[in-house]
Amino acid sequence: MPENKVENTIILCRSCDLAVRKRALPSGVRALCPRCSTALYDTPYCSINGMLALCISALVFYFPANFLPLLEIHFLGSIRTTTVFQGAFAVLEQGYWVVGLAVLAAAVIGPGLLILSILAQILIVKWGLSVPFWRHCLQQLLKQQAWLSQLTMLEIYVISFLVSSFQLSDFSDIHFGMGTFCFTMLFLVTLFLQREYDIDHMWTLLDEHH
Ligand SMILES: [Zn+2]
């Protein structure tokens, strides 16, 4: 179990320099320095199996979220449906290619890459840490993690989507499709995944396994 190895990590208290052995914390609990009660750390260690479950759920929602209708617009007797993917391309075709690319990157490509990257990292941590090739892959993935999580901005997309659909609802009849449900679930699962994920902990797992 790689999780157990982490229990040997020593950190120094920021205020009084007392050496404290870092150990796994349950969610929502904060570790305090035993001498001066300064808060030391409060992020729970990411549980590898928990993140694996979140990754798989995110992948299950990913494809319907992007390719099922997000909106059904009933307008002058005709029904139009829109998916995230079509939305981005419609913007591209109208010549707003910066906006279109931003939507594609932030709502489609970014989350997809992020989920796949974390999934690969988890699989390597679980089964591949003793193989040098996989260790090298994990190292490369961890180096890319920062910009990948910055690229993923599902929340901005959710907000702009809601704003535009309320504006549209003034002059047409708007129905939310199955894609909306999946997109919301994708958004929530990714949120929890990013909260659970701890890059420092992933580096520790890599460094400690020799
Ligand atoms: Zn202290």
Ligand 1 centre distance from Cα of residue 25 (Å): 18
* Cβ pair 175, 72 in contact under 8 A: yes
Ligand 1 centre distance from Cα of residue 34 (Å): 7
Ligand 1 centre distance from Cα of residue 30 (Å): 14
Nearest to 52 by CA among 141, 124, 154, 122: 122
CA distance 163 to 184: 15
Ligand 1 centre distance from Cα of residue 13 (Å): 5
Strand 78-82 relative to strand 71-75: parallel, antiparallel, unpaired? antiparallel
Ligand 1 centre distance from Cα of residue 150 (Å): 33
Per-residue pLDDT of the chain (210 residues; tens, 9 = 90+): 344 444 457 788 888 988 888 776 665 667 888 888 888 776 555 678 888 999 999 999 998 888 888 777 777 777 777 777 777 777 788 888 787 887 788 778 888 999 999 999 999 988 888 888 999 999 999 998 888 887 777 666 666 666 666 666 666 677 777 888 888 888 889 888 888 888 877 887 888 766
Domain ranges across the chain: 1-45, 47-208
Q: What is the pTM of this model?
A: 0.70
Q: Tell me the DSSP string of 54-79.
A: HHHHHHHHHHHHHHS-SEEEEETTEE
The whole-number pLDDT of residue 7 equals 47
Ligand 1 centre distance from Cα of residue 12 (Å): 8
* Cβ pair 156, 36 in contact under 8 A: no
Ligand 1 centre distance from Cα of residue 5 (Å): 24
* Cβ pair 82, 69 in contact under 8 A: yes
* Cβ pair 117, 145 in contact under 8 A: yes
Ligand 1 centre distance from Cα of residue 20 (Å): 9
Q: Tell me the DSSP string of 11-67.
A: EE-TTT--EEE-----TT--EE-TTT--EEE-PPPPPHHHHHHHHHHHHHHHHHHHH
| Neighbour count for residue 57 (Cβ, 10 Å) | 18
Ligand 1 centre distance from Cα of residue 134 (Å): 38
* Cβ pair 18, 12 in contact under 8 A: yes
The whole-number pLDDT of residue 2 equals 42
